Amino acid sequence: MFRDAVAAALPSEERLRERLARLPDRAWTDLALLFAAALPEIDGVIALQGGEAFARALAAARGIPVLHTVNAEHNLFPGEVALVTGHLQGGLPEMQALMRAERYGLRVLVAVAAIERTGAMGRTRLELHDTRVQSAVQLADTPGGLTFERRTPPGLLRLPS
C-alpha cells in the first residue's frame, strides 16, 4: 500500500508530500510492522518532524515509547533508540536529533526513513556517525522529476509488491 501511494504521486514532489500527509493510519501500521521485524532491539523511537505517524505506529508495533523531545528533563532512561523520519534528504535534522540524543545518554542505533532521497547526503552523514539507515522507498531526482531508485544500496527494506 505504501509503495503504491508513492508510485501514484510520482514524479511530483509536491504530490508526494500531499499524498504522504493524507496516508491512512493503516498504511503506516503496515509499514511499521515490516520494520518492527527487521530492526534491532531498541528501547524507544525518536519522532522527527514528518515522521510522527510512522514513529507512533512503529512504537506501537514494538511496545516501546515515542520520544518527541529529548532533553535531560524528559529523558526517563538511557538506552538505545531509532530515529524515525518521514523523508530523509540532506540529513541535517536527523544529525541534530542524533547529537541531541547522544548528549542525553541515548545511543541511536538506526535511522528509519519512509522515503529516502538517494541523491542527497542524508545516508552518508548518518553512516559517518555509525548510524545504520533503513528506508522503505528510495527515490532519485531526475530531470523529469522523482522516480524510484534503480540501484539497491544497503539498508533498503524490501516491500512486498
Domain assignment present for 104: yes
In the three-class reduction of DSSP (H, G, I as helix; E, B as strand; rest coil), residue 17 is classed as: helix
Domain assignment present for 157: no
Beta-strand pair 106-117/44-47: unpaired
Which candidate, 25, 40, 47, 13, places its Cα nearest to that of 139?
A: 13
Beta bridge partners of 132: 110
C-alpha–C-alpha distance, residues 94 and 60, integer Å: 22
Cα angle, residue 69 at apex, residues 88 and 99 outer, rounded to 5°: 60
Tens digit of pLDDT for each residue in 93-151?
999 999 989 888 899 999 999 999 999 999 999 999 999 999 999 999 999 999 999 87
* Average pLDDT over all residues of the chain: 88
Residue type, 103: R
Domain assignment present for 16: yes
Beta bridge partners of 140: 147
Q: What is the pLDDT of residue 71?
A: 54
Looking at residue 39, what DSSP letter applies? Answer: S
Domain of 105, CATH number, reads 3.40.50.2020
Cell triple for 104: 542525553
Looking at residue 150, what DSSP letter applies? Answer: S
Q: What is the pLDDT of residue 80?
A: 94
Is the pLDDT at 88 greater than 60? The verdict is yes
Q: Please state, as a whole number, how many other Cβ atoms lie within 10 Å of the Cβ of residue 57.
A: 24
Domain assignment present for 38: yes
- Structural domain that includes position 52: 2-148
Domain assignment present for 105: yes
54 near 32, Cβ under 8 Å? Answer: yes
Domain assignment present for 156: no
Q: What is the pLDDT of residue 67?
A: 84
Run of H or E including 38: helix 25-38
Domain assignment present for 115: yes
In the three-class reduction of DSSP (H, G, I as helix; E, B as strand; rest coil), residue 152 is classed as: coil
Global pTM exceeds 0.85: yes
Q: What is the pLDDT of residue 98?
A: 94
Cα angle, residue 134 at apex, residues 104 and 69 outer, rounded to 5°: 30
Question: How many domains does the structure of the chain reveal?
Answer: 1
Domain assignment present for 158: no
